[in-house]
Structure 1
Amino acid sequence: MGIHDEKVISVELGDQPGDNKDDTLLKELGYTPELKRNFSVIQVFGIAFSIMSLLPSIASVLVYSLPAGPVGMTWGWLIASCLILTVGMSMAEMGSAMPTSGGLYWWTYKFSPPSVRKPLCFLAGYASSLGLTGALVSIDYGFSVLLLSVPAIATDGGYSPTKYHTYGVFAATVISHGIAGALASKLVAKMQTFCIITNAVVIVVTMIALPIGKARNAGGINSGKYVFSHMENFYTWPQGFSFILSWLSPVWTICAFDSCVHMAEEASNASVAVPFGIVGSISLCGILGFFINAVIAASMDTNIENLLGASSGQPMAQILYDALGKRWTIGIMTCLFVIQWFMGFSVAVAGSRQVWAFSRDGALPFSRWLRVLNVKLQSPLRAMWFICTLALIIALLSLIDTAATSALFSLAVASNYLAWIIPIFMRVVFNVDTFKPGPFYLGRIGSKVVGSIATIFGTFVIVCLTMFPLSGPDPTKDTMNYTAVINGTVWLGSLAYYYIDARKWFTGPKQTLEELNQFIESDVIAENDLSIESSLKKD
């Protein structure tokens, strides 16, 4: 019987009295519980909110919204956030009904037609693994830029970081996440509460201090008319498309909610924790981000060209410096890059769970090695180091030129959205009427409407936002967007790998529970045989 049949055969291991409802549901999906459920509902929300970390994330990608002016920063953020929420709600429905760490490719297999379910499952798994690795790359690269902006400010522009300095800090940061994954695995859940509180404190302090400093030291805050109706266009694209490109800021920032899915097998009350974490983090970040961007627009230099060309290489650092001076800027920027370190660590944890789950199903190279858990720490440390090593290799692109560096930020978005919209599209088209919902459900019609919007928006993000060159419709080799090359290589490569070789052995998600029960049953049979043989000898 396949893992997706409606009725699941009861087996001895699944009927143990100590099982809780989370483990029982996981066994119904075909998997043996192997990870400890250390994450509460709030902590599952916390890991997504921690990865999104609004203020450092907005600071890292302000370069994408500034070219469209304050309108791009405020209304662009709000519109995109509402569209992102449709993706999150569709994912939350599936996560509520079928909470497993490899949810994205598992759902793809379940909802796709039999003729394409295995290659699409294979593609979704590779896209998700690459997307989370890309998220680690972009977050830690953003961390490096934030950190190096501090000495640039402290020396009044005397120090200007090079791409080699930035990569060196990036490499040290990624390695520190791998080490922390080994040393602090038992504290990961508790760290999420710390991250929520720290993010809230820094946001409140900065949002109060910034307009006060602007009013006192930089000629007064900008008018509401400027904040909510003034547009700019520093691209060579038409102004309307420049406004749409400003959506890259929220699309990149609110891009890690699938981490809740990947932590599902470590969550208590997973069918509630996963959808709450997804919908809650997107909604909160969408609302708070709108007000944060409005405050930044009210407090910044109206000559946006000065911000985009800041000597520190960080527009947010220049905005803080203009309004608050050197000491406040160094203090706030230090807080931001500390928070961003935790962002990178959280996404590395989530990514390691996806890699572990995908290797558990035998789909990655070295799967038998990667799927091994550290027994003492009850954590997939090999998967953690795998994703960190891959991140170090991918980030070498930043040493080529600025165009390749920009592709690093789009890498996570493109692959993540592909992994997200494949199962959403398949469920909307093929299985919306037969879907067995969990506690979070939009209803048959609501699911179809929201899922359709999510699919259209996700496709638009992949094709138009991440693949188009930012500079304009006539790119050169130095301004070309290489995201399509990087992602296309992995996507087409994974499909080629499937059809050339993996189709011979990849059968989709495995039933680890069934395998374990077969082992137990064979062990019992062997013991019975020994007993019979012993009895015969006595006779």
Structure 2
Amino acid sequence: MGEDGDKKADPVSTTGLANEEDAAALAKLGYVQELRRNFTMIEVFGIAFSIMGLLPSIASTLAYSIPSGPAGMVWSWFLASMFIMTVGLAMADLGSAMPTSGGLYWWTHYFASPKTRNALSFLVGYSNTLGLVGGLVSIDYGFSLMLLSVVVIAKDGNYTPSNGVVYAVFLGCILCHGVLASTMSKIMGKLQTAFVVMNFVLIIATVIVLPVGRASQRNSAHFIFAELDNLTEWPTGWTFMLAWLSPIWTIGAFDSCVHMSEEAANAVIAVPWGIVMSIGSCWLFGWICVIVIAGCMDPNVENLLGTSFGQPMAQIYYDAVGKRGAIAMMTLVFIVQFMMGLSITVAASRQTWAFSRDGALPFSGYFRKINTKLGHIPFRAIWGCVGLGAILGLLSLIAPAAAQALFSLAVAGNNVAWGTPIFCRLVWGQHKFKPGPFYTGRFSIPLGWTAVVFLIFGVILSMFPVGGPNPTAADMNYTVVINSAVWGGALLYYFLDARKWFTGPKITLDLDNLSESQERAIVVEGLEVENVKTDANVEPGVTKLQA
């Protein structure tokens, strides 16, 4: 923005929420700075990496990868991670160019055609919001299973927790996350560094403990890298592809860097590098972990899937270090899993708040308010996510298959939210794209198309029953039902009502810094350029924005 725009940003920066550059960069996207920028680049990376929670996530999704055998588990991780990196690079290009908390639906609206922009932006916003809440629920559900697996180990397998007990533990966990996310905002950035350290402590402990404990029973290199298996009714090749769901779900939180854009210092650098570093770290260290697990697990894979402990990873630890060692390791696993849930609570609440800021969610006026007394945080959005998560968690009372659909809800919902803005940029908006400091250059377009194809494949993959083509009601994959309700419901809501009032994000563009072709494109597409101001008549402890 020009000098006038910089002056408008000054009052924001003097409050201590952000420096002039970050406040001005956000103003160019149409928003006044309302959150405090207290996340460094390492802390932005930390929130994504801690949500991914490498070892706990691998443990939670072994049921997807183990049926393909050790080689299937190892090579599916490497190959899927490679494609996930293409998605991350495509998103990093956008995150550096236009860093805002509601980035995915904002980018969709900016790049899509005039006829489709409002509907697609609305769909992406809902898909991303519910996908993040689904991720929160699946993480906390995994936490409850891991915590209870410690109880089962302690009782030598002579205890089977009921669905009601699982939900009670889940509910206690998600409520704790709401309390902590509401009261620890001033140190939340610093906590991400601690969470990253805890993740690496668990990784290092596992990489050391398993080979030492199985010193006389370690598997051969041929077993690890070349032995495929098939414990499903699908063809072996498709069982291998289903194993990709483990890394796809695990390395699925890099968009949290985008949602922290308005709390990141120097966001044009911090956001893209946070995305790339979190994916790269999980690619490398995750591959090391699955190689070690493959090298130290029971060669009879069916023993792991049928373990009385309820978690294959618990059985792997038990075989290596015995009862006490397994209890200690699984305790560390569920502690790290708890940290994952806290981090994704923060990320989900920022997306929910951003979408409410643009008036798209029910009760947006309520959820978009910022609480200044607790550290300029979206307090109401935090508890909105917790409340919705508690309701979705009730699926665990129906059947494990219904609860497992929450894992795929996060995959399918977020894949649509990630792929749509990339697709819109490539098809309709390339001529409007102005790269930021991070840019993949001539590789940007081929990376974008690779990402779109892979994300479509990921959505299809997440819909398949894991066990085979003829599932029973107990092992059916209900993702297609849940996601159809999310996507169909969002579009139905839009065309019946929201199309009358939802016009997309409020956009302020820096016309002075645009090329002639970009200016022409903006004029042709009829994008509104609005000025924003801060309303001085705010409620105590609350700020709000008016356009």
Q: Is TM (by shorter chain) over 0.5?
A: yes
In the TM superposition, what is the alpha-carbon distance from 1:166 to its structure 2 partner?
A: 0.9
Query: What does residue 22 of structure 1 align with?
Result: 22
Q: Deviations over 1:53-89 (max 9, x none)?
A: 1111111111110000111211000000000111111
Match among 533, 539, 542 for residue 517 of structure 1: 533
- The 5 Å alignment of 1:431-470 reads 431-443=429-441, 445-463=442-460, 465-470=461-466
Q: Which moved more, 1:175-184 or 1:118-127?
A: 175-184
> Quick one: distance in 2 between partners of 1:468 and 1:188?
37
Distance of 1:15 and 1:379 partners within structure 2: 21
State whether structure 2 residue 103 is matched by structure 1 residue 103: yes
In structure 2, the residue matched to 1:144 is: 144
**What stretches of structure 2 of length at least 5 have no aligned partner?**
509-528, 537-547
Kept in 2, the 8 Å contact 1:300–1:319? The answer is: yes
Amino acid at match of 1:373: I
The reply to whether residue 45 of structure 1 matches residue 42 of structure 2 is: no
Q: Quick check: 1:369 aligned with 2:385?
A: no
**Is residue 493 from structure 1 mapped to residue 500 from structure 2 by the alignment?**
no
Distance in 2 between the 1:476 and 1:8 partners? 65
- CA–CA separation in structure 1 for the residues paired with 2:89 and 2:530: 32
In 2, Cα distance between equivalents of 1:330 and 1:10:
58
Aligned partner letter, 2:361: L
Map 1:130-141; keep pairs closer than 5 Å: 130-141=130-141
Q: Secondary structure at the match of 2:61?
A: helix
Q: Match of 1:92?
A: 92
Alignment partner of 2:318 out of 308, 316, 321: 321
Report how far residue 29 of structure 1 moved.
Answer: 0.6
Aligned to 1:33: 33
Q: Deviations over 1:76-123 (max 9, x none)?
A: 000000001111111111000100000000000000001100000000
User: CA deviation digits over 1:106-144, x for unaligned, max 9?
Assistant: 000000001100000000000000010000011001111
Alignment partner, residue 407 of structure 1: 405
Render the CA deviation track for 1:460-479: whole Å, top value 9, x for unaligned: 1001x111111211223222
- Segments of 4+ moved more than 4 angstroms: 6-9, 15-19, 511-516
Match of 1:530 in 2: none
Distance in 2, matches of 1:414 and 1:254, equals 13
Matches within 5 A, 1:19-418: 19-215=19-215, 219-377=216-374, 378-418=376-416
Report SS of the residue matched to 1:220: coil
1:13 aligns with 2:29: no
- Shift of the 457–223 alpha-carbon distance from structure 1 to 2, 3 Å rule, reads same
Distance in structure 2 (CA, Å) of the matches to 1:8 and 1:240: 60
Give the Å deviation of 1:209: 1.2
| CA–CA distance in structure 2, aligned partners of residues 8 and 462 of structure 1 | 46
1:26 to 1:471, Cα distance in 2 relative to 1, 3 A: same
What does residue 421 of structure 1 align with?
A: 419
Shift of residue 307 of structure 1?
0.3
**Number of the residue aligned with 1:534:** none
Q: Is the 8 A contact 1:138 1:409 kept in 2?
A: yes
Asked if the contact 1:262/1:354 (under 8 Å) is kept, the reply is: yes
**Is the contact between residue 47 and residue 257 of structure 2 (CA under 8 Å) also seen in structure 1?**
yes
Q: Deviations over 1:376-422 (max 9, x none)?
A: 12111100000111111111112112221221111111000100000
Code of the aligned partner of 1:278 = I
- The letter of the residue matching 1:116 is T
> Relative to structure 1, is the Cα distance of residues 64 and 207 closer, same or farther in structure 2, using a 3 angstrom cutoff?
same
Q: How far apart, in 1, do the equivalents of 2:434 and 2:292 lie? A: 44
CA contact (8 A) 2:111 2:432 kept: no
Structure 2 distance, partners of 1:251, 1:78, is 11
Indicate how the Cα distance of structure 1 residues 453 and 314 shifts in structure 2: closer, same or farther if over 3 A, else same.
same
Decide which moves more: 153-162 or 30-39: 153-162
Determine helix, strand or coil for the equivalent of 2:432.
coil
Provide the C-alpha distance between the structure 2 equivalents of 1:440 and 1:398, rounded to a whole number of angstroms.
42
Pick from 471, 477, 483: which aligns with 2:479?
483
Alignment check: 8 A CA contact 2:127 2:414 kept = yes
**Counterpart amino acid of 2:463?**
M
1:383 aligned partner, one-letter code: A
Q: 1:467 to 1:7 in 2, by over 3 A?
A: farther
Note the alpha carbon deviations across 1:249-302, whole angstroms, 9 max, x for none. Answer: 000100000000000000001011101110100011011111100000100100
How far apart are the structure 1 equivalents of 2:463 and 2:303? 27
Code of the residue aligned with 1:393 in structure 2: it is I
Structure 1 pair 224–518 and aligned structure 2 pair: CA distance change class (3 A): closer
Rounded to whole Å, the distance in 1 between the matches of 2:479 and 2:131 is 12
| Alpha-carbon offset, residue 511 of structure 1 | 4.9
Which residue is 2:520 aligned to? none
Deviation at 1:434, TM superposition (A): 3.4
Cα displacement (A) at 1:514: 4.9
Corresponding residue SS for 2:31: coil
TM-score, normalisation: structure 1: 0.92
Query: Would you say the 8 A contact 1:371–1:383 is kept in 2?
Result: yes
Is 1:85–1:279's contact at 8 Å kept on the other side of the alignment? yes
Q: Distance in 2 between matches of 1:364 and 1:515?
A: 23
Quick one: distance in 1 between partners of 2:3 and 2:399? 54
CA contact (8 A) 2:31 2:532 kept: no
The residue type equivalent to 1:517 in the other structure is K
Instruction: Provide the aligned length of Structure 1 versus Structure 2.
Output: 510
Q: Provide the C-alpha distance between the structure 2 equivalents of 1:401 and 1:182, rounded to a whole number of angstroms.
A: 32
Report sequence identity in percent. 55
Structure 2 residue identity aligned to 1:249: S
Q: Which runs of 5+ in 1 are unaligned?
A: 1-5, 521-539
Counterpart contact for 1:432–1:447, Cα < 8 Å: no
- C-alpha distance 82-7 of structure 1, shift in aligned 2 (>3 A): farther
Tell me the equivalent position of 2:517.
none
User: Which whole-Å CA distance do the structure 2 matches of 1:294 and 1:229 have between them?
Assistant: 12
TM-score, normalization by structure 2? 0.91
For 1:141-191, what per-residue CA distance to the aligned partner results, in whole angstroms no more than 9, with x for missing partners? 111111000010011112222211111100100000011112212111110
